[in-house]
Structure 1
Amino acid sequence: MTAIRQAELDALPVREALPELVSALDGHGAAVLCAPPGTGKTTLVPLVLAGLVGGGPRRRVVVAEPRRIAARAAARRMAWLLGEQVGGSVGFTVRGERVAGPGTVVEVVTTGVLLQRLQRDQELSGIDVVILDECHERHLDADTVAAFLLDVRETLRPELRLVAASATTDAAGWARVLGHGRPGGAPVVTAAGVSYPVETVWAPPARPVRPPHGMRVDPAQLTHVASVVRRALAERSGDVLCFLPGVGELARVAGQLGGVDAEVLQIHGRAPAAVQDAALAPSEHRRVILATAVAESSLTVPGVRVVVDSGLAREPRVDHARGLGALATVRASRAAGRQRAGRAGREAPGAVYRCWSQAEDGRLPAFPSPEIRIADLAQFALQAACWGDPDAAGLALPDPPPAGAMAAAREVLVAVGAVTPDGRATPRGVGMSRLGLHPRLARALLDGAAAVGPRRAAELVALLSEEPPREYGDDLAAAWRRARAGGDAYATRWRAEATRLRRSAATPAGPSTPTPTLPEPEAAAPLPGREAASRRAVGAPAPDLRASGAGGADGSAAPATAAGAVSGDDAAAGLVAALAFPERVAKAKGEGAFLMASGTAAELGDGSRLRSAPWLAVAVADRGPHSASARVRLGAVLDEDTARAAAAHLLASGDEVRWEAGDVAARATHRLGAIALSVRPLKNPDPALVRAALLEGLRSDGLGLLRWTPDARALRARLGFLHRTLGGAWPDVADDGALLARADDWLEPELSRARRRADLARIDAGQALNRLLPWATGEAARLDELAPERIEVPSGSRIRLDYSAEHGQPVLAVKLQELFGLAETPRVAGVPVLVHLLSPAGRPAAVTADLASFWQGGYLAVRAELRGRYPKHPWPQDPATAEPTRHTNARLRR
Structure 2
Amino acid sequence: MIRYDALDALPVRGALPGLHDALDGHGTAVLVAPPGTGKTTLVPLALAGLLGEGPARRVVVAEPRRIAARAAARRMAWLLGEKVGHRVGYTVRGERVVGRNARVEVVTTGVLLQRLQRDQELAGVDVVVLDECHERHLDADTAAAFLWDVRETLRPELRLVAASATTDAEGWARLLGGAPVIEAEGVSHPVEVVWAPPARPVRPPHGMRVDPALLTHVASVVRRALAERAGDVLCFLPGVGEIARVAGQLGDLGDVKVLQVHGRAPAAVQDAVLAPGRGRRVVLATSVAESSLTVPGVRVVVDSGLAREPRVDHARGLSALATVRASQAAGRQRAGRAGREAPGAVYRCWAEAEDGRLPRFPAPEIKVADLTAFALQAACWGDPDASGLALLDPPPQGAMAAARDVLTAVGAVDPAGRATSRGLRLARLGVHPRLGRALLDATAPGGAERVAEVVALLSEELPREYGDDLAAALRAARRGDDPYASRWRTESRRLHAAATGAGDRPADEPPAETNTGTNAGTNAGTKTGRGHRPTAVTDADAQPRSDHRPAAEHRGARWAGAGEDAVVGVVAALAFPERVARLDGGSYLMVSGTRAELAEGSGLRGVPWIAVAVADRPLGRGHARVRLAAAVDEDVARRAAAALHEEREEVRWAGGDVVARRVERLGAVELTVRPLADPDPGRVRDAVLDGLRQEGFRLLRWSPDAEVLRLRLAFLHRHLGEPWPDVGDEALHARVEEWLEPELGRARRRADLARIDAGQALARLLPWASGEAARLDELAPERITVPSGSRIRVDYTDPQRPVLAVKLQEMFGMRQSPVLAGVPVLVHLLSPAGRPAAVTADLASFWRDGYKGVRAELRGRYPKHPWPEDPATAEPTRHTNARLRRG
Same fold (TM over 0.5): yes
- SS of 1:256's partner is helix
1:848 aligned residue:
840
The residue type equivalent to 1:124 in the other structure is L
Report if aligned partners of 2:39, 2:163 keep a CA contact under 8 Å in 1. Answer: yes
**What does residue 318 of structure 1 align with?**
312
- Residue type of the partner of 2:240? V
Cα distance in 2 between the residues matched to 1:743 and 1:398: 54
Rounded Cα–Cα distance in structure 1 between residues aligned with 2:877 and 2:750: 49
Contact 1:477–1:573, Cα closer than 8 Å, also in 2: yes
- 1:102-113 correspondence to structure 2 within 5 Å: 102-113=100-111
Contact 1:589-1:595 within 8 A present in 2 as well: yes
- 1:210 corresponds to which residue? 203
**2:425 matches 1:431:** yes
Residue aligning to 1:871: 863
Deviation at 1:152, TM superposition (A): 1.9
Offset of 1:642 from its aligned partner?
2.1
Q: What TM-score do you get using the length of structure 2 for normalisation?
A: 0.89
Please tell me whether the aligned partners of residues 48 and 57 of structure 2 are also in contact (alpha carbons under 8 angstroms).
Answer: yes
Q: Larger deviation: 754-763 or 355-364?
A: 355-364
Q: Which moved more, 1:209-218 or 1:278-287?
A: 209-218
Question: Which residue among 173, 176, 188 is the counterpart of 1:195?
Answer: 188
Tell me whether 810-819 or 310-319 shows the greater mean CA deviation.
810-819
Letter in 2 for 1:251: A
CA contact (8 A) 1:729 1:774 kept: yes
Identity %: 75
Report the more deviating stretch, 852-861 or 284-293.
Answer: 852-861
- Could you tell me which amino acid in structure 2 is paired with residue 834 of structure 1? L
1:858: which partner in 2?
A: 850
User: Which residue of structure 2 aligns with residue 760 of structure 1?
Assistant: 753
- Give yes or no for contact 1:562–1:575 (8 Å, CA) kept in 2: no
Contact 1:563 1:641 in 2 (8 A): no
Q: Distance in 1 between matches of 2:579 and 2:557?
A: 17
Residue 816 of structure 1, aligned match among 808, 811, 826: 808
SS at match of 2:75: helix
**What is the CA deviation profile of residues 105-129 of structure 1, one whole-angstrom value per residue up to 9, with x for unaligned ones?**
2222111111111111122222222
Equivalence for 2:436? 442
* 1:648-667 aligned within 5 A: 648-667=642-661
8 Å CA contact 2:826, 2:841 repeated in 1: yes
User: Which of 553, 577, 580 in structure 2 is aligned with 1:582?
Assistant: 577
Structure 1: gaps (5+ residues): 180-184, 511-546
Q: Distance in 2 between matches of 1:563 and 1:557?
A: 11
Q: Which amino acid aligns with 1:307?
A: V
Amino acid at match of 2:857: E
Kindly report the root-mean-square deviation, in angstroms, between the aligned alpha carbons of the 2 structures: 3.1
Cα distance in structure 2, aligned partners of 1:344 and 1:728: 80
Task: Please state how far the C-alpha of 1:706 moved relative to its aligned partner.
Answer: 1.7
Q: Is the 8 A contact 2:582 2:589 kept in 1?
A: yes
Contact 1:561 1:646 (C-alpha < 8 Å) held by counterparts: no
Q: Which has the higher contact order (CA 8 A, sep 6+)?
A: 2
**Range with bigger deviation, 608-617 or 861-870:** 608-617
Would the alpha carbon gap of residues 483 and 553 (structure 1) be closer, same or farther in structure 2, given more than 3 Å must change? closer
CA distance in 2, matches of 1:737, 1:125: 68
- 1:55 alignment partner AA: E
* 1:614 to 1:865, Cα distance in 2 relative to 1, 3 A: same
SS of the aligned residue for 2:176 comes to: helix
On the 8 A contact 1:460/1:573 being kept in 2, the answer is yes
Residues 719 and 730 in structure 1, CA contact (< 8 A), matched pair in contact too: yes
Q: Kindly provide the amino acid, as one letter, of the partner of residue 829 in structure 2.
A: L
**Distance in 1, Cα, partners of 2:4 & 2:192:** 33
Deviation at 1:821, TM superposition (A): 4.9
SS of residue matched to 2:294: coil
Give, in angstroms, the shift of residue 715 of structure 1. Answer: 3.1
Shift of 1:787: 4.5
- Distance in 2, matches of 1:779 and 1:281, equals 98
| Partner residue, 1:571 | 566
| Equivalent position amino acid for 1:38 in 2 | G
Instruction: Tell me the residue number matched to 2:514.
Output: none
Query: Structure 1 residue 562: deviation in Å?
Result: 7.3
Measure how far apart 1:742 and its partner are.
5.0
Match 1:715 to one of 709, 712, 729 = 709
User: Is residue 331–residue 364 contact of structure 1 (8 Å, CA) maintained in 2?
Assistant: yes
Letter in structure 2 aligned against 1:347: E
Cα drift, residue 681 of structure 1:
2.3
Structure 1 residues 653-694: Cα deviation after superposition (integer angstroms, max 9, x where no partner):
222333333222322222223333322222112223333333
Which deviates the most, 231-240 or 474-483? Answer: 474-483
The amino acid across from 2:231 in the alignment is: G
Deviation at 1:579, TM superposition (A): 0.9
Partner of 2:634: 640
Give the number of aligned pairs.
848
Three-state SS of the structure 2 residue aligned to 1:711 is helix
- How far apart are 1:104 and its partner, in Å? 1.9
Question: For residues 238-249 of structure 1, what are the structure 2 equivalents within 5 Å?
Answer: 238-249=231-242
Partner letter of residue 350 of structure 2?
A: W
C-alpha deviation, 1:832, in angstroms: 4.0
1:391 and 2:385 matched: yes
- Structure 2 match to 1:260: 253
Q: Closer, same or farther in 2 for the Cα pair 1:701/1:226, shift >3 Å?
A: same
Task: Measure, in 2, the Cα distance between the counterparts of 1:718 and 1:881.
Answer: 32
- Give a deviation string over 1:108-153, Cα, whole Å, max 9, x none: 2111111111111122222222222211111111111122222222
Q: In the alignment, which of 126, 133, 136 is matched to residue 134 of structure 2?
A: 136
Secondary structure of the residue aligned to 2:476 is helix
Q: Return the match for 1:281 from 243, 251, 275.
A: 275
**Counterpart mapping for 1:469-868 below 5 A:** 469-507=463-501, 550-551=544-545, 567-589=562-584, 594-604=588-598, 608-611=602-605, 613-626=607-620, 630-722=624-716, 724-725=718-719, 733-734=727-728, 736=729, 739-740=732-733, 743-772=736-765, 787-795=780-788, 797-805=790-798, 808-868=800-860
How far residue 634 of structure 1 moved from its aligned partner, in angstroms, is 3.4
Q: Which amino acid aligns with 2:859?
A: R
- Find the counterpart in structure 1 of residue 360 from structure 2: 366
User: C-alpha deviations, 1:382-412, integer Å up to 9, x for none?
Assistant: 1111111111111121111111111111111
With over 3 angstroms needed to count, the CA separation of the structure-2 counterparts of 1:889 and 1:595, relative to structure 1, is same
Cα deviation for residue 863 of structure 1 reads: 1.7
Residues 1:279 and 1:564: Cα distance change in structure 2 (over 3 Å)? closer
What displacement does 1:726 show?
5.7
CA distance in 2, matches of 1:748, 1:456: 65
Matches of 2:27 and 2:778, distance apart in 1: 82
Distance 1:18 1:628, change over 3 A: closer
Kept after mapping to 1: 8 A contact 2:570/2:640:
yes
Structure-2 change in CA distance of 1:322 and 1:266 (3 Å): farther
1:891: Cα distance to partner? 6.2
Structure-1 residue corresponding to 2:71: 73
Question: Equivalent residue of 2:301, what SS?
Answer: strand
Contact 1:561/1:645 (8 A) holds in 2: no
Are 1:198 and 1:341, in contact at CA under 8 Å, matched by a contact in 2?
yes
TM-score normalized by the length of structure 1 = 0.88
Contact 1:416 1:557 in 2 (8 A): no
Q: Find out whether 1:97 has 2:90 as its counterpart.
A: no
SS in 2 for 1:814: strand
- Render the CA deviation track for 1:191-228: whole Å, top value 9, x for unaligned: 22221121111222222222222112222221111111
* More deviation, 453-462/830-839: 830-839
